[in-house]
Structure 1
């Protein structure tokens, strides 16, 4: 769609492939392909939290209109993972900042700041729970309706610590390759520009090793802009200690 296609044409010509590669500029939903069907669809459609500002709708449109019955999609599988993290210092820097802004009380902005997920790199040392896969998308079968979902999940605490936020990341798979290939955008692996998405909790959870957090994640495209996301996370700490019992709901907007 962008003007980088002009450079792509130069590169194709420089490599003597102008008679083999045809470049079309425009929106997938508007261009007319020179063939009724295609054998392969390749697309880098992933956004933050996998689905924010993603182009998956367009990939599904191309799949349904153009892909041969036995055609291939690269990549073809994506899984969203979550975990709980200790992040008190950074939370205080980002959220507590509004308590005193050069001597002025800006606390009315605190609630707004809490609704905005942070996209940043999380240190693996901050991860308190085991990772949990909450949703897997198969690009051969997924529909646009599946992109609005409600999933329940459990986080198992691997050590005694505080939990200030729940983070999310995704793994991508190319299962149709002769040697299956995958990569992760999680805190346990090499840096990617997707980083991780951090959802700060209103409460600070004090957890003990072996305890669990029961949670429910609700995701749906924003009604005004489908590339934005409305996300809700409900959580409850399962503990025998009444002094540490906690539950709550966080509502977030990625826009």
Structure 2
């Protein structure tokens, strides 16, 4: 849709490829390609938390309308991972800030602040639990209806620490390559512009090594704008120490 296409056409021409590359400006759902079917679809459709503001619906439209029976999609697999993190200092700065704003009580805004996931980089040393995969998308098979999902999962503590938030990231795979290629957007690897997505919990969970936090993630596209997300996270820490038991439900909006 961008006007950069005019410069792209110049670049194609000066490199002698005008007879091999055709650039079309417009939305995939509105334009007509000069071919009935294609061999390969290549798209960088991923958004924050993989699905926020993503173009996956458009990729699936192109797949169903244009891809040949044995055609290829690059990338073709995506997985969302979640882990628990200790992030007390930043949570206090982001959420506790509203308790006293230059002497005024702004606590009604704390709930709003908690409902907004934070897109930022998380250091590996902050990760308290083992990561767990909560969703894997196979782009050859996934349907738009699959983007509304509920998934139970457990987080197992690596050490005695506090959990202030859950962090989510995604991995992408190109399984059809001669040598399969995979890259990750997690805190354990090199920086990407997707960073990670942090969901702050209402409670601070106090965990011992090996303890399990039972969670469930519910995600659906917003009814008014499918590129926005409505997310619900439920968590439960059941321990023999009643003072550390905790459970709750948090609602988030990525918009």
The answer to which of 225-234 and 235-244 deviates more is 235-244
1:172-219 deviation per Cα after TM superposition (whole angstroms, max 9, x unaligned) = 000000010010000000000000000000000000000000100000
Root mean square deviation, CA, Å: 0.5
Corresponding residue for residue 154 of structure 2: 154
3-state secondary structure, aligned to 1:183: strand
1:17 maps to 17
Alignment of 1:162-241 (within 5 A): 162-241=162-241
Aligned residues: 255
Please give the secondary structure, in 1, of the residue aligned with 2:141: coil
Corresponding residue for 1:56?
Answer: 56
SS class of match (1:8): helix
- Partners of 2:74 and 2:4 lie apart in 1 by 21
Q: C-alpha distance in 2, partners of 1:10/1:131?
A: 46
Instruction: Using the TM superposition, give the Cα deviation of residue 37 of structure 1 relative to its aligned residue in structure 2, in angstroms.
Output: 0.1
**Alpha-carbon distance, 1:102 to partner:** 1.3
Runs of 4 or more consecutive aligned structure 1 residues displaced over 3 Å after TM superposition: none
- Give the deviation of 1:105 after TM superposition: 1.0
Structure 1 gap segments, 5+ residues each:
none
> Partner of 1:116 in structure 2?
116
Of residues 172-181 and 233-242 in structure 1, the stretch that sits farther from structure 2 once superposed is 233-242
* In structure 2, C-alpha distance between the alignment counterparts of 1:155 and 1:7, rounded to whole Å: 49
Partner of 1:246 in structure 2? 246
Indicate the larger mover: 178-187 or 232-241: 232-241
2:94 matched to which residue of 1?
94
SS at match of 2:194: coil
What residue number does 1:45 align with? 45
The secondary structure found in structure 2 opposite 1:61 is helix
Gaps of 5+ in 2: none
Shift of 1:10: 1.1
> Where in structure 2 are the equivalents of 1:122-161 lying within 5 Å?
122-161=122-161
Distance in 2 of aligned mates of 1:91 and 1:164: 7
Q: In structure 2, how many angstroms separate the alpha carbons of the residues matched to 1:103 and 1:11?
A: 58
Residue 238 of structure 1, CA deviation: 2.7
Q: Report the Cα distance in structure 1 between the residues aligned to 2:43 and 2:238, rounded to whole angstroms.
A: 41
Q: Distance in 1 between matches of 2:253 and 2:78?
A: 22
